[in-house]
Amino acid sequence: MHEQSLIKNLVEKIHLLASSESDRLVAARLRLGALAHISAEHLREHFEREIIGTPLEGLRLQIEEQSDIHHAEAQEIILDSLEFEDSHGD
Ligand SMILES: [Zn+2]
């Protein structure tokens, strides 16, 4: 299981997307496929270890566990969406 490199790639992708925005990234939502062979808790553990000491540290991670094993992305961990802080509010 190449979970470490998988999550590393995911974090790099998030970092890339976040650096092209002027607003601060506050949360990321992931979809965890039913056949992804990693639990949400374990995914979170790896993810949090991966972002320590980076600008992504403290990011709120939302993991949506999928139950459909016949879904085309059932074996994957998909980056669903990112949530940015609205700095134009005031
Ligand atoms: Zn692990």
Distance 4 CA to ligand 1 centre (A): 7
Per-residue model confidence (pLDDT) at position 89: 60
User: What integer is the mean pLDDT of 25-31?
Assistant: 97
**What is the residue-averaged pLDDT of the chain?**
92
pLDDT digits (tens, 9 = 90+) for 38-69: 999 999 999 999 999 999 999 999 999 999 99
Dihedral pair phi/psi, residue 74, rounded to 5°: -60, -25
Distance 31 CA to ligand 1 centre (A): 18
Extended strands (E) in the chain: 25-32, 60-65, 77-84
Distance 71 CA to ligand 1 centre (A): 24
Distance 57 CA to ligand 1 centre (A): 19
Distance 81 CA to ligand 1 centre (A): 23
Please tell me the pTM assigned to this model.
Answer: 0.88
Distance 30 CA to ligand 1 centre (A): 17
